[in-house]
């Protein structure tokens, strides 16, 4: 019975801050997404420069 009470308190505390947690995850996801887009654009530019003879 005591385990159930502890579990209920933990669930209650987590549900109160769940919106903040979801917001933080979303912000992190946006940051990672921007980084990946910039990395892919950089890679494309690098490949085009190598193919186009930029390394002569």
Q: For the chain, give the mean pLDDT.
A: 80
Domain that residue 29 falls in: 13-51
Is residue 1 one of the residues assigned to a domain?
Answer: no
* 49 in Cβ contact with 55 (< 8 Å): yes
Is residue 45 one of the residues assigned to a domain?
Answer: yes
Q: How confident is the model at residue 15 (pLDDT cuts 50, 70, 90)?
A: low
State both tokens at 50. Answer: 């190598």
Collapse the DSSP code of 34 into the 3-class scheme (helix H, G, I; strand E, B; otherwise coil) and give the result: helix
Q: Per-residue pLDDT for 23 more than 90?
A: no
Count of domains observed in the chain: 1
Is residue 46 one of the residues assigned to a domain?
Answer: yes
Q: Give the whole-angstrom CA distance, residue 21 versus residue 24.
A: 5
């Amino acid at each position: 019975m005591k385990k159930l009470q502890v579990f209920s308190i933990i669930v209650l505390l987590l549900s109160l801050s769940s919106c903040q947690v979801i917001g933080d995850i979303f912000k992190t996801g946006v940051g990672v997404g921007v980084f990946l887009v910039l990395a892919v654009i950089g890679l494309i530019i690098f490949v085009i420069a190598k193919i186009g003879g930029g390394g002569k």
